[in-house]
Amino acid sequence: MVPADWQHPKDEDGNYIPLHDGFNKRLAAWKEENAKWQQGLRRDYSADDKWVPIEAKYAGTPFEEWDGPRPDPKDYMPDWPTEQRTHLCMYEDCTEGTPISPVFATPEECARWLADNGASAFGHMTATYEQWLATCRKGYAVGMVMGGGLPPRSGVALNAE
């Protein structure tokens, strides 16, 4: 959800600038992990996010070299107040974090545009109006679903099942 007048920023060549979502959440996690790093600990993502000692080979390594620089708000979507988030704009965020549609006032308008313009639901996969509508109403879709002997399907298609 975005404000009615939202214009995603573009670079000097007219290409969309990728923006991540969730600046405040990412910054809080970065600060927590940086503080733990200073204590000689790092998060073990393979073990329920518990904290484990930093391996000797990384001792003395600045946290920024391990995790990257402190998150910068310019790399993230604005954190608009809820009352300003009145319109929809469909984004792909598996790779870039850029819009794949204009801004629309209703899920029906957005879904119609996505279906009529053959917007990518995942890679080369497109979706029907009904599939896009279910996704617009839900607010998101997983990228792709595969397994169980079925052919790969986009998360957009899955939302309508």
When pLDDT is cut at 50, 70 and 90, the band that residue 107 belongs to is very high
pLDDT tens by residue, 45-68: 887 779 999 999 998 999 999 999
The CA distance from 58 to 70, in Å, is 19
Identify the band that residue 123 occupies on the pLDDT scale cut at 50, 70 and 90.
Answer: confident
Q: pTM higher than 0.85, yes or no? A: no
Helix, strand or coil for residue 74? helix
Is it the case that residue 95 has pLDDT exceeding 80? no
User: What H or E segment, with its residue span, contains residue 158?
Assistant: helix 155-159
Residue 69's pLDDT is what?
95
What are the extents of the domains in the chain? 23-75, 82-159
- Alpha-helical (H) ranges within 8-152 are 23-38, 63-67, 107-116, 129-138
Residue 87 has φ and ψ, to the nearest 5°, of: -125, 165
pLDDT of residue 91: 92
